[in-house]
Amino acid sequence: QSCSDHRRMWTRYIWPPRGVSAFCAALCSRAWLNFAVWFLDVLIRQGAMFIMSVAVGIALTLSYDLLRVFRRVVSHNSILIAMEDVCFWLIWTYVTLECIHVYGDGVLHWYMAVGILFGVVLFHYTISCTLLKSVNNILYKVKKSAKKHKKLLKNSDNKGKM
């Protein structure tokens, strides 16, 4: 299309009347209004995708922390730990790709990858550290109490045999 065709297309939607300056007319035109509505819609959708990506990163880190707590409670050998890690990452790869497919129309936008990374880093350096310290303290106290009760039970069994 030629330049005059574009100009004609844009000026067709211009309102107010010709007596107003061209700048005011361009600002008030329906084409600019349509563009502004479209642009705000795009920004809102992209913002929602970014927030969803941050939530995925937080959920990923939280679930890995729960796996780490489970490993501290139940002892594992290295083969079982490797199998758990493979299963964990396969599941989270599927979840992440499904979120990208559903929310990003199958396209990996850079802000989605940044959002996931931001969620992981945010959760890891804020809540995760205090959560794991608290769980370690609780597990230490439970183990200490269990050893104490086990020792008491063992002593009471020895006294009963005499």
pLDDT digits (tens, 9 = 90+) for 128-138: 888 888 988 89
Quick one: pLDDT at residue 73? 84
CA torsion, ordered 43, 45, 50, 51, to nearest 10 deg: 110
Question: Residues, the chain, total?
Answer: 162
pLDDT exceeds 60 at position 9: no
pLDDT exceeds 80 at position 6: no
Instruction: Judge whether 14 and 33 are in contact, CB under 8 Å.
Output: no
Q: Check residues 103 and 11 and name the one with the higher pLDDT.
A: 103
Residue in the structure block whose two tokens are 């509505």: 37
Give percent of the chain above pLDDT 90. Answer: 30
Quick one: pLDDT at residue 56? 93
Confidence class for position 2, pLDDT limits 50, 70, 90: very low
Q: How far apart, in whole angstroms, are the C-alpha atoms of residue 115 and residue 101?
A: 15
- Chain centroid to CA 52: 6
Quick one: pLDDT at residue 119? 95
pLDDT digits (tens, 9 = 90+) for 36-84: 777 888 888 888 899 999 999 999 999 999 998 888 888 889 999 999 9
- DSSP letters, 28-89, are T-HHHHHHHHHHHHHHHHHHHHHHHHHHHHHHHHHHHHHHHHHHHHS---HHHHHHHHHHHH
Quick one: pLDDT at residue 26? 59
Q: Check residues 26 and 54 and name the one with the higher pLDDT.
A: 54
CA distances from 32 to 7, 26, 147, 150 (A): 14, 7, 74, 77
Q: How far apart, in whole angstroms, are the C-alpha atoms of residue 154 and residue 158?
A: 6
- Mean pLDDT for the chain overall: 80
